Amino acid sequence: MAATRKPVIPLTPPSIGALWREQHGFYAGVVRGRRGAPNCILIVSEDDRSFVKWEAAAAWAKGLAPAGDFTLPTRDELRILFANARELFATEWYWSSEEVAGVAQCAWCQGFDNGTQSSLHKFNELRARAVRRVAIQ
């Protein structure tokens, strides 16, 4: 029986912030795996949304192709995106995928004007940019 092989990531990705068509977005660097997960290459979607509530932003991200691969970024990923690929973002606030612990009606967000993070009620309308993660084997 032949083993199923996962796609291999080229050893040399494009420059950070450059479009990587084969990965369906812009290369934004490497993120550390959380809770024992492998480190990942972080890909930022080509599109973004403006003035969307948190739940609509999350649904939009999941609907991007390749289907099911994109999500809203975590708080840590937003920090990396601000540091590595700020030019891909408007100088506005963007939703994260993370709810505030103990406050289910609020979620974390990142300002791309000065890099601060805060939490807001999910009914607020912010911008959204999706990411996908490709495990480094």
Residue 75, pLDDT > 80, answer: yes
Q: What pTM did the predictor assign?
A: 0.89
Identify the pLDDT of residue 123: 98
Q: Name beta bridge partners: 106.
A: 121
Identify the pLDDT of residue 66: 86
Between 18 and 137, where is the model more confident?
18
Domains and CATH numbers, the chain: 19-135 (3.10.100)
Q: Long-range contact list for 5-12, CB < 8 A, 24+ apart?
A: 6/135, 6/137, 7/134, 9/41, 9/134, 9/136
